Amino acid sequence: MFVVDSPIGPLGVSVVDETVVGVRFGAPPGSSGDHPAISQIKAYFAGELTEFELPVEMRGGSEFERTVWGQIAKIPYGEMVTYGSIATALGDPGAARAVGTACNHNPVPVIVPCHRVVGAGGKMVGFGGGIERKRKLLELEARVALAKAWT
C-alpha cells in the first residue's frame, strides 16, 4: 500500500498490477513510493488535476453497488448530485438510502468521487471518510472550478 499525505489526512492507496483497487482514509504510515496514482492524487489536491486517468478496478460489491459506483464515476468535477437523483437515474426513486449505502462501500473514494453525492437540497450527509473530509473535498473542487472559470 502506498500512502499519500493530503489535506484530508493520509490516504492509503492499494495498487495491484498497476491498477488502483482501493483508497483508504486515515492510512497508517507506509511507502510513499513513486506511482502514477500517487502523482495524480497529489496533483488533484494541488488543484492541478480535475480528472483522474488511472486504471481502476472496483472490487467486491453487489450488482446494485457496482451500478451506483458507475454512476458516481460520471459526476463531473466540481458538481454535486443527490442520492435521490442517482436512485431515479437507476429507475428506483425510492432507493436513495440504498444509494447512500453503496456510496459508503465505494472501495476507491476520491478517485471515484462519492463525495460529490449529497442529500436532498445539497445537505451534507453521510460519507465514509467523515463529513469534514467531504466538505473539504467539495470546497477544494469548488475553488478550483471557480478559478478555472475566471482564467
Task: List pLDDT tens digits, range 85-102.
Answer: 999 999 999 999 999 999
Q: What is the pLDDT of residue 30?
A: 67
- Does the pLDDT at position 15 exceed 80? yes
Task: List pLDDT tens digits, range 40-56.
Answer: 999 999 999 999 999 99
Q: Mapping DSSP to helix (H, G, I), strand (E, B) and coil, where does residue 4 land?
A: strand
For residue 120, what is its C-alpha cell? 436532498
| Mean per-residue pLDDT, 43-70 | 95
For residue 123, what is its C-alpha cell? 445537505
User: What is the Cα–Cα distance from 58 to 39, expressed in whole angstroms?
Assistant: 20
**Residues of the chain with pLDDT > 90: what percent?**
80
Task: List pLDDT tens digits, range 108-137.
Answer: 999 999 999 999 988 888 788 899 999 999
Domains identified in the chain and CATH numbers: 2-45 (no CATH), 63-149 (1.10.10.10)
Q: How far is CA 40 from CA 62, 74, 100, 131, in A?
A: 28, 18, 26, 23
Which one of 13, 98, 114, 144 is the catalytic residue? 114
Q: 145 or 137: whose pLDDT is higher?
A: 137
Active site residue 114: yes
Q: 33 or 77: whose pLDDT is higher?
A: 77
